[in-house]
Every structure is written in structure tokens, then in C-alpha cells.
Structure 1
Amino acid sequence: MHYPAPLISGSTIAVTAFSSGVATPLHPRLDLVLSDLALRGFKVLEGHCLREDKLHVSAPVERRVDELMRFLLDDQVDAIMAPWGGEIAMDLLPLLDWQALQPARPKWLMGFSDISTVLSAFSSKLGWATCHCTNLMQLSLAQTDALTADTFTHLQTSTGGTFTQRSAPFYELGYSNYAQDSEAVFNLAEPSRWQVLNDKAHHTGPVSFQGRLIGGCLDTHMLMFGSEYFDPQALLERHPDDKLIFYFENAEQSPTAYYRALQSLKLRGAFDHAAGILIGRNAVTDNAGKAFDGDTAVKMALGDLSVPVITGVDVSHVAPNMVLINGALAEVSRDDEQWTLVQHLR
């Protein structure tokens, strides 16, 4: 993998909304998190495709591609962040100049949701390590839970280095309304628990597995699997001695669509070289507790796998989120009820 340089004080972060932009009522929140980036010691480069949102995007696709390419090819830029996700970042992928990007210095691409669509493309096509993490609009300095507060700390890790995260004790049920309260923080009040789905694969007690991380929002990744933009096989070819750890989270799919998405990946051989699978908290709760809900979808689709499938993981539209580096060699382990994720940038 090609790991970008560590983010340190003085590093430049470019901000552009290559998926959904930020409408006017949310500009106070955007201004707050941009200011907080500067307070963290970063130089902030604000793009033009950012402060509007029409038809799910910040600007026409040509403008979004041009701005993203400009930042990607600028050696003064160390990281690129979008304010948050969206719906159709997929429209950028065939328009990016991948040949021009081949010799470019890798930058940290950061975020989750629809941002993960772009993260996987860069990891698959260029071998860049990319960062699935809390989105910029949630990364205020006032957010002090360990997973969120340490996001940039982990990105100070040098190539060859290691960082460790532990499962969060609580999660947020619902979403903050930044239009009403631009200074809102997470309400982490619900007890969080990672669980082993398939006990026949691993009995209760210590659990441990290792592999290269790859994944993102299931809503887009189940559609991209098998294309050049989400190609786990490319990661295996770069690291033939390792297996893969997939991570997925459901953003908007109904329980039956959720089931079909996971079953489709399984039928297409996605998990043939998996060491384990991490499933984030389900963001769709309308059917919770019904006969066919999100938990049922995961059990029916993945319950027969022989590798550990862990549910309730801190990777989701339901905060908080771990920092997961696509391509990093990860170790997942459980001792009693405490889960630990160690990532090696090598």
C-alpha cells in the first residue's frame, strides 16, 4: 500500500464537497469545523464546490471532478476532506484522470458514507491507503469521545507504525441537528456491544483474527463489487500472504434489501479470502424488533460463514466511528467484553 505522509501541525487539508454540498442553514456548522481544523494546527484550503447543495450535489459533476483533481495533483495538499457524504459520488469515478494520478503523491482521503465510494476506488485502482472515519461536519473540537477525538491523532502515524483503538462503550441513537444547533455534539447514551454473529465459527471467549481492511457503505459497495472501483482482489495481489477483513454498514436499505446486498456479495465470492467481517450498527431502525429486521438480514445472509462475523461495530452512520485505514494490516481481538482493533501501516 502507498501510505500518505502523516498529518502533523502545518499540514494542509483541502475541503471540497465532491458529493453533497452544504446548504446555507448549515454554514454556521461548516464555519465552526473549518475553524476547528485551523485550531488543530492545520492549514485549510477551502474549495469552491462546497457551500451549495442542489440535486444531492455541491456542483455539476465536471466542476467537482476538476476541483478534486486539482487538489489531488497539488503537492502542497496533504489531505482532502468532504463535509459529509451524500448519494451519487459514483458519478465522479469514470471521469477522474487515473493515468495522471498514477505518479501523484498520495493524499489522505477521509470520511464515510458516500465518501467511502471514492475511498475504495483510490485503494483499488492506485493502491492508496484511505481513511474511513468520522466526517468533517462531526469533527468539532467539542466532540470529546475517544474514537472521535483521536481521529487526527491516529493519522499522525508514520508508515510502518501502529495504532490501537477499543470499542466504544456507548453510541448515539439519532442524529444531531446542526441547522438548529451549530455547536451540537453526539449524545452517546445507548450501551454499545460488539457481538459474534456465528458462534459455530468462534465460541464465546477470546476471539482473534488478522487481515487487510477493506469496505465502506454497503449501499454503494454492493453495487461496485466486481468493478475496478471496488476490487478486493487487487488488495490481495499486493499482499498475497494476507487475508482480508471486510467492514460494511447499512445506511438506507430496508431489511430485505440489506439481506440481498450481503447475500449478493457472498454469492459473488467476495468473502472467499476473508479472515473476518465487521458489520457496523444499522442506521435503519424502522423495522427493529420485527420478525424480519436488520439483525435478521445479517444472520440470514452471513450466519453460515466459517469466519467470524462481528456485529454492532463502531463503523456506521450511527456515531461514533473508528478510524479504519483501507489496506492496513489489522488485528481484531476480544478479551472478555473488550474489543480491540490494532492497525499496522505496512
Structure 2
Amino acid sequence: MNYPVFKEGATIGVTAPSSGVPSELHDLVKLSCSRMQSRGFGVVCGETVWTQEKAKSSPAQVRANEFNTMMNNDAIDMIIPPWGGELLIEILEYIEFEQLPSKWILGYSDVSALLLAVTLKTGLATAHGTNLVDLRGEYSDETTAMWQAILSTKTGESVLQHSSPKYQKEWTHADPSPCIYHLTEPTYWKTVSGAKTNIQGRLLGGCIDIIRHLVGTPFGDVRHFQKHFIHEDPIVWYLENCELPTTDLRRSLVQMKLAGWFEHCSGILFGRSSANRPVEGYTVEDVYQELAAELQIPIVYDIDCGHVPPQITLINGAYAEIEVDDGKGTVKQVFKP
């Protein structure tokens, strides 16, 4: 595994490999950039950030070219897209994977397809966490704010994160918060077994709505990654559901299982979700219980990951030890080569 080096005063490249930002929301990006500059970062925005048409910032080749250019620009130290979207998968065939230098890419939602593809194909660690627009607050909550400490971890070192004290149940845009999120509900991490749980292995994952579409493609070769980049270490999957009802979630998990993605898997972490709509009484807890029984592995759910903020920063490829007991959780990540 190759872990990028985070630099103090890093210059952030902002590009939109999925959705750009419509003109009426440009102020969100400008405020985000201003906040980052006030914290000592440089910021370079690409042209794709400022456009949005037909569910994408620009044509696939344009998006890919801007991403490739920023990754290979020595004046840019890391990439943080403004947010996710819907059609990032269109650019994967145009990404110059064999030429990607060692730089952090941070994001989630639709961006998780890019993160997972980069790590699986190249062994370059990528960061699943906050997006740029959600860093526009006067300050960040303690969970979100850890992104910088996580990315500052050096190869061979470790970093510890804790479950959040509270999470956000719903967005209240009419009542802006100085830290963006309205954290009102007590966080409680759960286990299928109901008992204290410890899971260890290499982290891989993202938004299941998105990364499931990498199954069977050249960008989703988990076996090759396991053999060539992580010395056959077990994998801990972290998955979060943005929009899927329980039956679609179940279908997606079965597809991943049949494709071999859960071979040599030591556990699965599921993020909180406002989706997970039951179908004819079939609940998400049923999905988790069935999967745990089939795979004979521990499953933890309602963790701080995904579209119900805040979220911890999870590094694709890092070795992690996850402990959950009585609703509280810790994630220790070791930047193991």
C-alpha cells in the first residue's frame, strides 16, 4: 500500500468528477474555499466545479481530463471534490491509473466509485470522508474535524477515532449552524450479535448504491488487490446506503457475495441511513442478520459513515481494528504498507 503524504499548507485541487455546482449554489463553494484558505490551505478550482447540466458537471472526457491534470500537477497536493452526484462511473475508463502520483483524494457518495477504483487498481490509499462543501462552517464538529489528522498519519503510524456523541437526523437549511451539521440525536453503534465486537482487517468500501456497479468491471478486481497490494490480509468492508430500499440493498449484497467480494472478509460495517425502507416487513435488520449468518462474520451497523452526518474518515487500504461495545465504537487505523 502507498499512503500519500499530507503537507502543512497543502494546495487543494477542487474538481467535479461527478456533479458540479449550479450557479445558484456557487456561494457555497466560494465560502468553502475561503474557509480552507483561512486555515492555511491553498485552493485551485477547476472549471468543472462551476457547471452542471444533465446530471453531471461536464462530459465524461472533460471531467476525467481535469482530474488527470490536477493529479499530475506538482503545484496541487491533494484533491477534494465539492460533493458527489450520480454519474462518476462514466469517467473511470478515461482515468490514467498507471500515471497517478501519490496524492490524497477525499470524498464520499458518488466519489466513492473513484476512491475504490483507484485503491483497487493501484494500491494507492484513498480517503472516504467529508466533502469540500461540508467544510464551509466556522468550525467542524470533532468527528468531521479528524480528517486532517487522519491524512497527516505517516506510513507505519496509527490513528484512533471514536464514534460521534451525536448525529444529524435531518437537514435544516433554513437554520444554518456554525459547524454546518445539526447534531441532535445520540449516536449508538450496533452489532448483529448484540455483544461486544472486535474486527480487524484492511478497509475497503463506500456508498453501496455506487460501488456495486464496479462488480465485474476492471475497476472492481478485489482478488487482485488482495493478492498484490495487501499480502492476503482480510478485508473489512464499510458500506453505506444512500437511497436503496431493503430488497435492493439485499440484491446488491448478494451480487457482491457471488462476485467474491466477501471472500476472506473479517467483518462488515454499515453506516447510518435514512433509506433502508422496509419492503413487506423485510427490514434492514433482517438483511444484516441474514448476511451475518451466511458469511459467518460479525456485522456492525449505524456507524458514523455516509449520508447521515457526521462521519469518521476511513482510509481504503489501511489496516483497521474496530471495537464496539455498549453503543460506543473506536476505529484504530494503521497505515500498514
TM-score range, shorter chain: over 0.9
For structure 1, list consecutive stretches of 5 or more residues without a partner in the other structure: none
Give, in whole Å, the separation in 1 of the partners of 2:212 and 2:140: 33
Residue in 2 aligned with 1:191?
186
Bigger CA drift: 68-77 or 115-124?
A: 68-77
Check 1:241–1:262 CA distance in 2 against 1; reply closer, same or farther (3 A cut): closer
Bigger CA drift: 32-41 or 297-306?
A: 297-306
Give, in whole Å, the separation in 1 of the partners of 2:101 and 2:140: 32
Residue in 2 aligned with 1:329?
319
Residue in 2 aligned with 1:299?
289
Give secondary structure in 2 for the equivalent of 1:121. helix
CA shift, 1:337, in A, is 3.7
Residue in 2 aligned with 1:126?
122
The CA deviation string for residues 55-101 of structure 1, in whole angstroms up to 9 with x for no partner, is 111112221111111001112221111110000100000112233x1
Residue in 2 aligned with 1:73?
72
Residue in 1 aligned with 2:5?
5
Residue in 1 aligned with 2:51?
52
1:264 aligned to 2:255? yes
CA shift, 1:193, in A, is 1.1
Give secondary structure in 2 for the equivalent of 1:168. coil
Check 1:19–1:303 CA distance in 2 against 1; reply closer, same or farther (3 A cut): same
Q: Which of 136, 141, 145 is residue 141 of structure 2 equivalent to?
A: 145
Q: Check whether the contact 1:6–1:155 (CA below 8 A) recurs between aligned residues.
A: yes
Alignment of 1:1-346 (within 5 A): 1-8=1-8, 10-99=9-98, 101=99, 104-177=100-173, 185-197=180-192, 199=193, 204-205=195-196, 207-237=197-227, 238-284=229-275, 287=277, 291-346=281-336
CA shift, 1:116, in A, is 0.4
Check 1:295–1:247 CA distance in 2 against 1; reply closer, same or farther (3 A cut): same
CA shift, 1:150, in A, is 1.9
CA shift, 1:173, in A, is 1.2
CA shift, 1:324, in A, is 0.4
The CA deviation string for residues 1-29 of structure 1, in whole angstroms up to 9 with x for no partner, is 11111232x21110011100111221121
Give secondary structure in 2 for the equivalent of 1:53. coil
Q: CA RMSD in A?
A: 2.1
The CA deviation string for residues 214-265 of structure 1, in whole angstroms up to 9 with x for no partner, is 0111012122123221222233112224110001111111221111111221
Give, in whole Å, the separation in 1 of the partners of 2:24 and 2:286: 38
Q: Check whether the contact 2:52–2:58 (CA below 8 A) recurs between aligned residues.
A: yes
Give secondary structure in 2 for the equivalent of 1:32. helix
For structure 2, list consecutive stretches of 5 or more residues without a partner in the other structure: none
Give secondary structure in 2 for the equivalent of 1:304. helix
Q: Check whether the contact 2:288–2:299 (CA below 8 A) recurs between aligned residues.
A: no
TM-score under structure 2 length normalisation:
0.93
Check 1:289–1:140 CA distance in 2 against 1; reply closer, same or farther (3 A cut): farther
Q: Check whether the contact 1:176–1:185 (CA below 8 A) recurs between aligned residues.
A: no
Q: What percent of counterpart residues are identical?
A: 34
- How many residues end up aligned between the 2 structures? 335
Bigger CA drift: 233-242 or 159-168?
A: 233-242
Give secondary structure in 2 for the equivalent of 1:105. coil
CA shift, 1:143, in A, is 4.2
CA shift, 1:330, in A, is 0.5
Give secondary structure in 1 for the equivalent of 2:144. helix
Q: Which amino acid aligns with 1:113?
A: S
Q: Which amino acid aligns with 1:45?
A: V
Q: Check whether the contact 2:35–2:138 (CA below 8 A) recurs between aligned residues.
A: no
Q: Which amino acid aligns with 1:161?
A: E
CA shift, 1:169, in A, is 2.1
